Amino acid sequence: MKNSLVLLIAVLLFGECVFAQPSDLFLNPLEDKTKDYGWKTLEVIGLYFNQVSFNNWNAGGANSISAIFNGKVQANYKSEKLFWNSNLFIRYGVNKQESEPLRKTEDAISIISNFGYEKNENSNWFYSTRFSFNTQFADGYNNPDEEPISRFMAPAYLFMGAGLEYGRHIEKLSFYASPLTLKTTFVLDKNLANSGAFGVNPAIFDMDGNIIKEGDTVRSEFGFLLTNQYQNEVFENIMLNSLIRLYSDYLNNFGNIDLEWEINFDFKVNKYVSAIFGSHLRYDDDIKTELIRNEITNEIIVVEGPKLQWKQLLGVGFIVNLEDFGKQK
């Protein structure tokens, strides 16, 4: 990842057709801007399904059904010089295959808040501070009969930073750079913290397997953050949303980049029926992918070996804008 730093920054700077920021995260100039001042809110929920069944199918196969719930709450405020945009995203999905136990396929809680100050209305640069928090609802497993490898608040990630953003008056484009960003990783589970999961310092054991010092539950980093986002209707009723985030810690292996890139296509059939296709890439040097069990202490030990992670989803379902129900009432 270290050798890709220059290339990725160049893509961020010049690849506005792929990575940019949704237009709802910044303000566009209006003829009478005062009409657009104040609060704007959005509340949307969606339920997506996938189902496969077989009956006398000579090629074989396993019957399965899956569902994904999506929720979004958005609150945006702006005045002459200031804006404050906040978003809450939740997603939870499950899958059931014949005699196999129920397993989750999606699990995310995300809060993003962005506060900005425009010093010069004719400039595309403005000051910005950002806050983001991410965790999950339920336990995660490699195998259902094993110990969980993740839980609520284990991990949880908090980013806080200040910097400059470019693109406020360019539709659908934003580039954010923060040289002062604090990244905090929480692992508020005793077993996972003792194993050193998600980059925290593991517990120290004596020769008999007794814990001398408990593992850390918090890991703090201070580094440089780059983000670039994009939202556009690429074809009629097909909306593309892309977010990429690059982070490098000043104190630990500076130049070694943590990568997060999520891209989603929303296909609108009508007001209530929609489909989604998404891809999520992640690389974090602090997340190890190999686990072994200590024969003495019976604890799960994290082994070195970060890898590029990839997740993909596809679903068809129903979406509801809760504001429509309020208007009907």
DSSP code string of 201-229: PPPEE-TTS-EEEPPPSEEEEEEEEEEEE
Distance CA 257, CA 2 (A): 6
Number of H helices, E strands in the chain: 3, 16
Predicted local confidence at residue 26, as pLDDT: 41
User: With the C-alpha atoms ordered 113, 275, 238, 12, is the resulting torsion angle positive or negative?
Assistant: positive
Which pLDDT does position 22 carry in this prediction? 39
Give pLDDT, residue 132. 93
Output the pLDDT for position 296: 56
E strand map for 118-217: 125-135, 156-166, 173-186, 204-205, 211-213
Global pTM value: 0.78
Q: How much is the pLDDT for 56?
A: 67
C-alpha 154/C-alpha 197 separation (Å) is: 9
CA distances from 112 to 69, 156, 185, 240 (A): 19, 14, 16, 19
Whole-number pLDDT of residue 262: 92
Query: pLDDT over 70 for what percent of the chain?
Result: 79
Alpha helix stretches (DSSP H) within the chain? 5-14, 190-195, 322-328
Looking at residue 52, what is its pLDDT?
77
Question: Can you list the residues of the chain whose pLDDT is less than 70?
Answer: 1-36, 56, 58-60, 168-171, 288-305, 323-329
